Amino acid sequence: MKNSFANQCIRCTVESCKYHNGERDYCSLDSISVGTHEIQPTESRCVDCESFEAKIQG
Ligand code: SF4
């Protein structure tokens, strides 16, 4: 399924997420949740999009 909406406030390149815009590098959600898996995050790789859901292939 292609998500036609591209929220231009949320750039994203995670094509394996089911909310990724099908054609452009944006998220199709109105808003997302961002969190961390670290006790004290110090760089960008310490934080995560917690709205991610894996795209079902097929
Ligand atoms: S939910 Fe998160 S990972 Fe998925 S497309 Fe949106 S910003 Fe990217």
pLDDT digits (tens, 9 = 90+) for 38-54: 999 999 999 999 999 99
Cα–Cα distance, 50 to 32 (Å, whole number): 7
Query: Is the pLDDT score of 26 beyond 90?
Result: yes
Average pLDDT, the chain: 95
Cβ(6) – ligand 1 distance below 6 Å? no
In percent, the amount of the chain with pLDDT more than 70 equals 97
> What beta strand segments (E) does 1-58 contain?
7-11, 26-27, 34-36, 47-49
Q: Are 2 and 23 in contact (CB under 8 A)?
A: yes
pTM beyond cutoff 0.95:
no
The pLDDT score that the predictor gives to residue 23 is: 94
Cβ(29) – ligand 1 distance below 6 Å? yes
The pLDDT score that the predictor gives to residue 57 is: 76
Cβ(14) – ligand 1 distance below 6 Å? yes
